[in-house]
Chains A and B, each alone.
Chain A
Amino acid sequence: MWKEFYSAMESPALPILAMACFIGSFVVVLIRNYGYAKARDFDKIASLPLLNDEQPIPEAHHE
């Protein structure tokens, strides 16, 4: 169905519109991403790998 629809269409408006929708969605996600209100919560989770209070124990400890 779409094949016939597109082949009958002389103007490239729809593909350009589709591309604009894709880029628009991408930009919205980016803006949303950087403008998110809960930045502090995320910062806390992002620091999880850096919480380092390890005290290495020799493996022989178990033996």
Chain B
Amino acid sequence: MSAEVKRIEYDDTSVRRFIAASVIFGAVGMLVGLLIACQLAWWKLNFGVSFLTYSRLRPLHTNAVIFAFVGNMMFAGVYYSTQRLLKTRMASDLLSAIHFWGWQAIIVAAAVTLPLGFTTSTEYAELEWPIDIAITLIWVVFAINFFWTLAKRNEKHLYVAIWFYIATIVTVAVLHVVNSLELPLSMGKSYSVFAGVQDALVQWWYGHNAVAFFLTTPILGIMYYFLPKAAERPVYSYRLSIVHFWSLVFMYIWAGPHHLLYTALPEWAQSLGMVFSLMLWAPSWGGMLNGLLTLRGAWQKVREDPVLKFFVAGVTFYGMATFEGPLLSIKSVSALAHYTDWIIAHVHGGALGWNGLMAAGMFYWLVPRLYGTTLHSKRAADAHFWLATIGIIIYLIAMWSAGINQALMLQATNPDGTLVYPSFVETLIAIRPLYIVRALGGSMYLVGFVLMIWNLWKTMRSGRPVNGATTVVVEAAPAEPMLGIGAVVFGRPLWFAIAGFTAASAFVVLDVVPAVIAAVGVMVVGEAAFVVLRRDAAKGRPSWFSLIEQRPLAFTVLTLLAILVGGVAELLPTVLLKQAVPTTGASQKPYTALEQQGRDLYTREGCYVCHSQMVRPLVAELQRYGEPSRAEEFIYDHPFQWGSKRTGPDLHHVGGRYPSLWHYTHLMDPRATSPGSNMPSYAWLAENTLDVPLGSKKLALLQKLGVPYTNEQIDGAVADQKAQAQVVVADLATNGVTVAWDSEMVALISYLQRLGRDHGIAVKAAVAAAPGGTP
């Protein structure tokens, strides 16, 4: 058998580029995070400027940190480790360059459009449709380059890090495409094809799994490659990493509904989300322990090596965040923690602790090697480590305390059932000192990050760019022929898995007696699989592992199946649910043209960032906000606006609660109506003119999405807007406020007055509020 010796030079230029982009955008994202943290403590830092307002900058912060900082860091790690693990250069330098520059262009587009108010308002997916399409195209470029590299590899085995990268590429593509299904109105505005409950479930299926498959699985792949490299010893248990991978990718996708506990989401979906979240404890901690135990016998190195310090702390934060996540998914804990700063603490434990520290460890390990030199200052790296670690701890303690304190205050009731703290602002004022402490912790983290940038810059300056190279021996023909795809598809392991899963699924949906039979079926299939596969192994037949381990295509298909099962099982029934939700009754009237325009302003300004529209069936919430929200109240909400955090009170039933003058005054100067509030002023709404003719186009587009507007309503939208606006204008005028009927302020007030109420009631209330008006 002949063999050829090949010399391979890796493409490390792309790795250097992605690292540079990650640290630059990381600093920007964290700086914006610090600014908005300060805005929560000192409202004047909103400066009265629309594009510097908290509600517009917060999506910029989250997008910058997730997609620009962690995204670029992830690509750097993937490009570096994939080439070395597969012993080949990336398939196409051109595709690598398109991937890099395309991704940076997307980030710049996000940085421009989000502060300007171009947003879909769906968390972590706020970017509008042209950028969504760009993301899809660039992701496809990345996928082609990656799978092409897999196809031309010179190493037959696929190391577990590659598995995690495959899961990332496949799942992010599915999540992004489904969650971005929207109909465009203009270049900067679109409506989600999903509405209400469906939209909420799709959004949090996406949102939760963006955390899982963008912030977790690729970084786990990076952990499995870089931690053994830095520790100079193989991963503690490769077998455990296999269990870790499959259980994690299968279970994670089911957990999204834990973001919607006690909401109008069907109870079965909530329970499913909670149970799978709890089960995630096992694989997550398996992975964490696998990472930490890799250092067995080498713990003394952690004292000396800043890279290992960052990795150990990062993996520890992963363990902490993955303990806290399932805890928060327990319904009774969620009742307390949801909508509070406890969730913010949890997210930052993951982002600053897991992602941030893993990124720093990887950068400190990579940059000297990519520039053929040594790290400029180990002491500076150590200082960075302590600043970051102490900064995170301060941040987390402040946010845990703020969240739990505020939740307890909001839920406190007197013996007679009334609220102890009826004013929401009162609870906000109580936690304001903790917001200042949070900003202090964040500042420390940012200072450490800047120190890292300086250290890396000095390191780069002391060396020059070098590319890794290696020599491989390529056999003309493989010693053992590869198993065909047929062997995988028709292999016994796959069929045992399908039979077992079918029986397990039947157990959930069947009646008692058939369900018990199905449970017995699961046990029988499991036992049969064990016996048959053991016998096959004794005869030298391929095992489950060997069937897929060297087959990227089969592996990718199975990964896709693993993630689709959970997605389809949860999403399909709720999409079909639309037919089950009653569409008659007062609350099912579509918004008027003016209310829809106001709703779009509500999303543009990012009101959902601080205000929920979801009253949960909890005693204190009934006292504070009224009746619990119901699924049928949201069927025309494209997109849903339930929110995930309450820095201000819930608004679902705010319609008619206050006169229009109150809303006007509140939007102009929130402290005039709510002393102590940290809400920014939205005074520009009174100055900005509404695009009135656009109202009819909006109704026409929403009609296509199933909202029952008549053609008369669409044709008469301009006149209807004017008529409804003048009721509000007249009401304000009687109180000495002059505002144009076609101002954005009037549209937003009309929407707020509609919330939770029938259109007719809202108009009557507005008329009644005007002196001389009749109810």
- Given A33-B240, A49-B85, A49-B225: A38 in contact with B235 (beta carbons within 8 A): no
> Which residue of chain A is the closest to B471 with respect to CB atoms?
A53
A45 / chain B contacts, CB cutoff of 8 Å:
157, 159-160, 238, 549
Contact, CB under 8 Å: A29 / B243: yes
B470 part of interface (Cβ distance < 8 Å): yes
A10 part of interface (Cβ distance < 8 Å): no
B468 part of interface (Cβ distance < 8 Å): yes
Mask: chain A, 18-54; 1 = CB below 8 Å from B; 0 = not: 0000100010010001101111001111111110011
A47 to B294 alpha-carbon distance, docked (Å): 12
> Which residue of chain A is the closest to B227 with respect to CB atoms?
A49
- Given A22-B279, A56-B369, A58-B464: A48 in contact with B85 (beta carbons within 8 A): yes
Mask: chain B, 237-262; 1 = CB below 8 Å from A; 0 = not: 11110010000000000000000000
- Given A5-B512, A55-B469, A56-B469: A46 in contact with B238 (beta carbons within 8 A): yes
- Given A1-B512, A56-B372, A59-B13: A47 in contact with B237 (beta carbons within 8 A): no
A38 / chain B contacts, CB cutoff of 8 Å:
543, 545
Contact, CB under 8 Å: B464 / A59: yes
A54 to B366 alpha-carbon distance, docked (Å): 14
Contact, CB under 8 Å: B228 / A33: no
A22 / chain B contacts, CB cutoff of 8 Å:
279
- Given A47-B234, A49-B81, A50-B232: A33 in contact with B239 (beta carbons within 8 A): yes
B663 part of interface (Cβ distance < 8 Å): no
A7 to B25 alpha-carbon distance, docked (Å): 54
A40 to B537 alpha-carbon distance, docked (Å): 15
B616 / chain A contacts, CB cutoff of 8 Å:
none
A49 / chain B contacts, CB cutoff of 8 Å:
81, 84-85, 159, 161, 224-226, 228-229, 234
Contact, CB under 8 Å: B468 / A54: yes
Contact, CB under 8 Å: A33 / B243: yes
**Range class of the A interface residue count:** 20 to 34
A58 to B614 alpha-carbon distance, docked (Å): 59
A57 part of interface (Cβ distance < 8 Å): yes
Chain A min CB distance to B209 (Å) = 23
B282 / chain A contacts, CB cutoff of 8 Å:
26
Contact, CB under 8 Å: A57 / B228: no
Contact, CB under 8 Å: A48 / B155: yes
Contact, CB under 8 Å: A46 / B372: no
B155 / chain A contacts, CB cutoff of 8 Å:
48
A53 / chain B contacts, CB cutoff of 8 Å:
470-471
A29 to B245 alpha-carbon distance, docked (Å): 13
- Residue pairs across A and B with CB atoms within 8 Å: the count is 87
A54 / chain B contacts, CB cutoff of 8 Å:
84, 468-470
B161 / chain A contacts, CB cutoff of 8 Å:
49
Within 8 A of B (CB), among A1-17: 1, 5
> Which residue of chain A is the closest to B467 with respect to CB atoms?
A57
A43 to B235 alpha-carbon distance, docked (Å): 9
A22 to B464 alpha-carbon distance, docked (Å): 54
Contact, CB under 8 Å: A56 / B239: no
- Given A48-B155, A48-B159, A50-B228: A58 in contact with B372 (beta carbons within 8 A): yes
A60 / chain B contacts, CB cutoff of 8 Å:
464-465
B470 / chain A contacts, CB cutoff of 8 Å:
53-55
Which of A39, A46, A47, A57 is most buried by chain B, counting CB atoms within 10 A of its CB? A46
B466 part of interface (Cβ distance < 8 Å): yes
B471 / chain A contacts, CB cutoff of 8 Å:
53
Chain B min CB distance to A7 (Å) = 13
Pick from B157, B225, B466: contact of A58, CB under 8 Å: B466
Contact, CB under 8 Å: B239 / A34: yes
Chain B min CB distance to A38 (Å) = 7
Chain B min CB distance to A59 (Å) = 4
Pick from A26, A33, A50: contact of B237, CB under 8 Å: A33
> Which residue of chain A is the closest to B370 with respect to CB atoms?
A56
Mask: chain B, 132-172; 1 = CB below 8 Å from A; 0 = not: 00000000000000000000000101011100000000000
Chain B min CB distance to A56 (Å) = 4
Contact, CB under 8 Å: A58 / B465: yes
Contact, CB under 8 Å: B157 / A48: yes
Contact, CB under 8 Å: B466 / A56: yes
Contact, CB under 8 Å: B464 / A56: no
B4 part of interface (Cβ distance < 8 Å): no
Contact, CB under 8 Å: A59 / B238: no
A60 to B372 alpha-carbon distance, docked (Å): 13
Contact, CB under 8 Å: A61 / B467: yes
B545 / chain A contacts, CB cutoff of 8 Å:
38
A37 to B238 alpha-carbon distance, docked (Å): 13
Mask: chain B, 658-690; 1 = CB below 8 Å from A; 0 = not: 000000000000000000000000000000000
Contact, CB under 8 Å: B511 / A1: yes
B9 part of interface (Cβ distance < 8 Å): yes
Mask: chain B, 355-369; 1 = CB below 8 Å from A; 0 = not: 000000000000001
B511 / chain A contacts, CB cutoff of 8 Å:
1
A53 to B234 alpha-carbon distance, docked (Å): 16
> Which residue of chain B is the closest to A21 with respect to CB atoms?
B519
A55 to B224 alpha-carbon distance, docked (Å): 23
Within 8 A of A (CB), among B54-89: 81, 84-85
A55 to B12 alpha-carbon distance, docked (Å): 13
Chain B min CB distance to A14 (Å) = 10
Pick from A36, A47, A59: contact of B465, CB under 8 Å: A59
B9 / chain A contacts, CB cutoff of 8 Å:
57, 61
B369 / chain A contacts, CB cutoff of 8 Å:
56
> Which residue of chain B is the closest to A47 with respect to CB atoms?
B234
Chain A min CB distance to B306 (Å) = 20
> Which residue of chain A is the closest to B239 with respect to CB atoms?
A33
Chain B min CB distance to A42 (Å) = 4
Contact, CB under 8 Å: A43 / B469: no
Chain B min CB distance to A28 (Å) = 9
Contact, CB under 8 Å: B238 / A43: yes
B235 / chain A contacts, CB cutoff of 8 Å:
46
Chain A min CB distance to B373 (Å) = 10
A33 / chain B contacts, CB cutoff of 8 Å:
237, 239-240, 243
> Which residue of chain A is the closest to B522 with respect to CB atoms?
A21
Contact, CB under 8 Å: A46 / B234: yes
Supply 17 A–B pairs (Cβ within 8 Å), ascending by A: A33-B239, A33-B243, A34-B239, A38-B543, A42-B238, A43-B234, A44-B157, A45-B549, A46-B235, A49-B84, A49-B229, A50-B229, A53-B471, A54-B84, A56-B369, A58-B465, A59-B12
Task: Pick the 10 closest A-B CB pairs, nearest first.
Answer: A59-B465, A46-B238, A56-B466, A46-B234, A42-B238, A48-B159, A54-B468, A33-B239, A49-B228, A45-B157
Which B positions have Cβ atoms within 8 angstroms of A? 9, 12-13, 81, 84-85, 155, 157, 159-161, 224-226, 228-229, 232-235, 237-240, 243, 279, 282, 369, 372, 464-471, 511-512, 537, 543, 545, 549
Which A positions have Cβ atoms within 8 angstroms of B? 1, 5, 22, 26, 29, 33-34, 36-39, 42-50, 53-61
Beyond the given pairs A45-B238, A48-B85, A59-B467, 12 more chain A to chain B contacts, judged by CB atoms under 8 angstroms and listed by A's residue number, are: A29-B243, A33-B237, A46-B234, A49-B226, A50-B234, A54-B468, A54-B470, A55-B468, A55-B469, A56-B369, A58-B466, A58-B467
